[in-house]
Every structure is written in C-alpha cells, then in structure tokens.
Amino acid sequence: MRYPTRNGLVIPPQELGLRVVEHERRVTSNHHLYWPRRNYQGPVSHLFRALAPHIVPLLIPEHSQIHRDYSAPIMPKEGLMVDVIDEYVAMNGVINAVYDRKTMEHYQITANQWARLRTI
C-alpha cells in the first residue's frame, strides 16, 4: 500500500497512529516523510525533502513499520514543492533544512538565496 497523501502532501505519521518523539540515540531514527532520496535530486525537490519539518524522529520499530507497510508516497509536483517552501520562508524568514540525517544538524537558506535557487 502506498503511503497516504492529502492534496499531494504526506499525511503526518501521528495521523497514522505513530509517535513522533524526541531524538534519542539508538532508540529513534529519523524518517524522511518524502522518500526515496533518489527521487528528490533537483535543487527544489532536494530542499523540499530536507526541510526540517519533513524529517521526524520515530521509534526505530515504528520507523521500520512505515517502510514495511507502505511504499513511498507519490512525489509532489514541483509547483507544490515551491509553494510549500515559499510558505515556509514567509512564516520563518529563512529555510531550516537538515544537513545530516543522523545528527539532525541544520543549515539555513535565506529568502534571497531561495529566490535564486527556485529559478534554476
């Protein structure tokens, strides 16, 4: 069964009865809501996938359960990804993206950098 979406965006794991928890080494693993990575290689899709709210810590058994029970969600259209990132920038002033999936180290992209990136 494909991971469920609503209007092209994934359903949060909490709505599927899973718990998003605080990151704890060896107890949790970070789940990218949009997978697999190979589908998100362009500049916009890569940034969309790396948005901090799109990576959530789950208990390891529950993370395994998602990948066992669901195939990857349908990749959103690029226009929708741009709209989501635009809204994120409007709300936060900068884009917080995850650099390292294990440590959840973040990097930031300014609104000006995003404006240049989205036209590539």
pLDDT tens string for the chain (120 positions)? 999 999 999 999 999 999 888 888 889 999 999 999 999 999 999 999 999 999 999 999 999 999 999 999 999 999 999 999 999 999 999 999 987 666 667 889 999 999 998 876
What proportions of the chain, in percent to the nearest 5, are helix, strand and coil? 40, 25, 30
**Structural domain boundaries in the chain:** 5-117
Global pTM reads: 0.89
